[in-house]
Amino acid sequence: MKKSPKMWTMAFLRTTCKSDIVDNNLCETFNSSIVEARFKSIIRMLEDIRTKMMTVIVQKTKLCNGWKKNYGPLVKAKFDANKKDYVGWQLICNGENGCELRKESYQYTVDLSQRICSCRSWQISGILCSHAYAAIYHLGFQPDEYLHEYYHIDTYKKAYSFPIQPINGPHDWEKIGIQLVLPPIERNMPERPKKNRRMAKDELKKLKHGHLSR
């Protein structure tokens, strides 16, 4: 059964997000990548999309092969940003995986076994928040082990492990006997024909005797 974005986030991240935002981001990303192809004929458009996706898959595969860590540089930048903010949080642990993080008037709870924080940032993004960082460092654990598996290099490679196979050109395509799709025949719409001449923009309108213009 196909899962909606709301069901997916609830199942894997134990939280929910607005499905319209997820759908809109996916559509915007796809549309921005086929701006030029959309103005071409249907066959040419599909061919451009196919060759573009073939190239993107190869580029993404080469990109992740150059990663120095188990995750990409964009995730590392978010990691480093949250790492700077963890300083100053005081930890109170319950002896297991439950922690309270306090700083001034702020207080959050972190559960390392369920990988959740009451600020909800960890659940939504899958990347450690500053509160989770503080708890992990205070307890002597490794932050990289708590990164969601969807950011791992193995998961990234699986997403691009299905290359698009090359094909021959239209000259070698199999003819199946279906008639070619031609553009529609132009026809006049059923409406009363216009009799008055269309005036130019700078042309003065002729007024009837005794009438004033607006």
Instruction: Say if residue 18's pLDDT is above 50.
Output: no
Spatial distance between the Cα atoms of 159 and 58, rounded to a whole number of angstroms? 12
Amino acid at 43: I
Residue 87 has a pLDDT of 78
Instruction: Say if residue 102's pLDDT is above 80.
Output: yes
Average pLDDT of the chain is 80
State the sign of the Cα–Cα–Cα–Cα dihedral 190, 195, 201, 205. Answer: negative
pLDDT band at 54 (very low <50, low <70, confident <90, very high): very high
pLDDT tens-place string over residues 157-214: 898 888 899 999 888 888 888 887 788 888 877 777 777 777 777 777 776 666 666 6
Which H/E stretch holds residue 110?
A: strand 106-111
Spatial distance between the Cα atoms of 44 and 27, rounded to a whole number of angstroms? 21
Give me the mean pLDDT over the 104-132 stretch.
89
Q: Is 212 helix (H, G, I), strand (E, B) or coil?
A: coil
Residues whose CB is less than 8 angstroms from the CB of residue 110 and which lie 6 or more positions away in sequence, other chains included: 98, 99, 100, 101, 116, 117, 118, 131, 132, 135
Amino acid at 85: D
Spatial distance between the Cα atoms of 135 and 87, rounded to a whole number of angstroms? 11
Residue 33: how many CA atoms within 13 Å on its side-chain side?
15
